[in-house]
Amino acid sequence: MALNLTQKIIKAHLLSGEMTAGAEIALRIDQTLTQDATGTMAYLQFEAIGLPRVRTELSVSYVDHNTLQMGFRNPDDHAYLRTVAAKFGITFSPAGTGICHQLHLENFAKPGKTLVGSDSHTPTAGGVGSMAMGAGGLSVALAMAGEPYVISMPKVVKIHLTGQLPGWATGKDVILHLLGLLTVKGGVGKVMEYAGPGVATLSVPERAVITNMGAELGATTSIFPSDDVTKAFFTAMGRPEDYAPLAADAGATYDEVVEIDLSTLEPLAAAPHMPDRMVRIADLDGMKVDQVCIGSCTNSSYADLKAVAQILAGKRIDPATDLLISPGSKQVLKMLAAEGLIEPLLDAGARLLECSCGPCIGMGGSPVSAGVSARTFNRNFEGRSGTQDGQVYLVSPQTAALAALRGAFTDPATWGDAPEKADFPAEVPSIRHLFLPPPADGAAVTIQRGPNIAPLPPFGPLPAVIKAPVALKVGDDITTDHILPAGAQITALRSNIPAISEYIFSRVDAAFVARIKELGKGVILGGENYGQGSSREHAALGPRYLGVVAVVAKSMARIHRANLVNFGILPLLLVDKADYDRIPAAAGIRLDTATLAPGQPAPMTVEGVGEVMVVNDLTAKELDIIKAGGLLNQVRQARA
């Protein structure tokens, strides 16, 4: 039978299950990656499993989120990550080397391999044909332990590309176009598989922009075939041996097909505060821009920054506009330096930041109050920039550079010719020596634990009867940023659950933590798409620690739902969405957990309302995990 690319990789890694959409499948995982903000917890969990060494082909621990070292917390985390990596056989990438996804793409991603990463933009590696999925830290810990990675068999959407990007249109505009078309819910339960003659016209960095931001569609992952363009990329990166051709079989079938004629695309922006609020740059022409940020795992490649340097060369940015640039890796920085492309950036007035996530995760670079910030990033949720009323537009590097020069959005049609597409230089400098490989035997390594590293709190099993009040009622599109805000002060506490839990829902309802502590336990009532956004499992761990037993919502985002399961919080959906309006905040809830069966509706008693039907979309295995009080409890019990 002719297989599409996704089916081919899944088939080669299938440990159990049927390849029919929606069926539960267990996959063998070849590679894992972590970043520091989620990594500390992943390694605390790996330690709790009790194995002497990881069982993957390759595991890499990157430090790119909390790189600021003001006070002991982040340095404590970095030292823990470095030593735990050496002990358990994990490659370590020190702070400042670059952003995890950019580094993984350049140095480690391989066509046809499975990769699970504790970061929602792990699908970036799909730009070279990896099946790369974002997951919670616990799933990564288990993958490192050689446990299968369990997902629902995704539907496969063929994104059929024809034509060629014209003028100022870029890879970013392809994915922004798709987001406008399909929305942030359009990819849930699906893999976006790119195909068609337009694929060959896109470079690997352009493909990686598209697979990176496929995360905003809610997709399981996005993937490009591995072809001659991929081969040239691997050769330029100094690892031609890692190339392997990979494509869908002729005659392969797909669950859905979306047609995109690249030649019809133009520069776009995602307007505040959602990545799918699409507007044409031409329609924003003249709108004042206070700040421009170029970088992030989406748009920080050599090609991106070369285009920026070409636009800025010999010019000065608008004096009322701040321009911040974070290169994606030291390799990118070295390539720019070697070609004399740093000077035009500096002379134009840009501020060159460290090779890290930086402003994307709120590590500095917040815009002025109520300011407009044009960013090449992938998310523009309210408050994520660190300025609560900041207005973030997501754009391509080219659009960002023009905005910096003029201090306003600029229709590129009025500007002149677009810079030429960058090819890699003949000599690409390597930074491979900066990664710390683990010693062959980690037995002698002592793990360094500063006071910021707190052990995992123990969690009990699901009670037979849930009797708890609604501790918080929230609206639609609650993101993990709403549940647990980003920012330097908070993310520094990610290896300390009691401390970080103090910030749960702090920007939604400042009284929430005090209230649930007093109640002892509670239920969250959510609207549509509850938990969208980043994969941060602390958005489940924190509520669990505070006593949240269940989330009842109209609909739920995939990764957050998986995190709720992993940490023993019951995710339930309202059978009749209209019941959301009938359930008052603070109403008492009663649910007999014996009535729960996989995929079956169950009655929930709501004080003052009566019976409300809820349904779960859990598998039998997931229900068992929740009943055990979480996955770690279950794995420990199985290994005892």
Residues at the site binding ligand F3S, with contacts judged by CB under 6 A: 35, 64-65, 99-101, 119, 121, 296-297, 357, 360-361, 378
In the complex, minimum distance from the CB of residue 358 to ligand F3S, in angstroms, rounded to a whole number: 8
Contact between 555 and 578 (Cβ < 8 Å)? no
Distance, in Å, from the CA atom of 605 to the CA atom of 46, rounded to the nearest integer, reads 39
In the complex, minimum distance from the CB of residue 99 to ligand F3S, in angstroms, rounded to a whole number: 5
> Closest Cα partner for 267 from 180, 359, 328, 200?
180
Q: Closer CB to ligand F3S, residue 151 or residue 353? A: 353
In the complex, minimum distance from the CB of residue 305 to ligand F3S, in angstroms, rounded to a whole number: 14
Phi, psi values for residue 279, rounded to 5°: -135, 155
Q: Closer CB to ligand F3S, residue 281 or residue 361? A: 361
Q: Closer CB to ligand F3S, residue 325 or residue 548? A: 325
Q: Closer CB to ligand F3S, residue 65 or residue 73? A: 65
Q: Closer CB to ligand F3S, residue 218 or residue 522? A: 218
Verify cis geometry, omega within 30 degrees of 0, for the bond prior to 273. Answer: yes
Q: Closer CB to ligand F3S, residue 8 or residue 101? A: 101
Contacts of 491 (CB under 8 A, 6+ apart): 37, 65, 66, 361, 362
In the complex, minimum distance from the CB of residue 478 to ligand F3S, in angstroms, rounded to a whole number: 19
Contacts of 397 (CB under 8 A, 6+ apart): 170, 172, 294, 299, 304, 305, 307, 308, 376
In the complex, minimum distance from the CB of residue 35 to ligand F3S, in angstroms, rounded to a whole number: 6
In the complex, minimum distance from the CB of residue 563 to ligand F3S, in angstroms, rounded to a whole number: 17
CB neighbourhood size of 452 (10 A): 21
Q: Closer CB to ligand F3S, residue 6 or residue 329? A: 329
Contact between 557 and 481 (Cβ < 8 Å)? no
486 burial type by CB count under 10 A (0-12 exposed, 13-18 middle, 19+ buried): buried
Q: Closer CB to ligand F3S, residue 359 or residue 542? A: 359
In the complex, minimum distance from the CB of residue 226 to ligand F3S, in angstroms, rounded to a whole number: 23
In the complex, minimum distance from the CB of residue 451 to ligand F3S, in angstroms, rounded to a whole number: 25
Q: What is the DSSP string of 360-419?
A: GGTSS-PPPTT-EEEE-SS---TTTTS-TT-EEEE--HHHHHHHHHHTB---GGGT-PPP
In the complex, minimum distance from the CB of residue 365 to ligand F3S, in angstroms, rounded to a whole number: 12
* The three-state (H, E, C) secondary structure of 166-188, written as one string: CCCCCHHHHHHHHHHHHCCCCCE
Q: What b/e readout covers 21-55, taking b as 16+ CB neighbours within 10 angstroms?
A: eeebbebbbbbbbbbbbbbbbbbbbbbebeeebbe
Q: Closer CB to ligand F3S, residue 85 or residue 361? A: 361
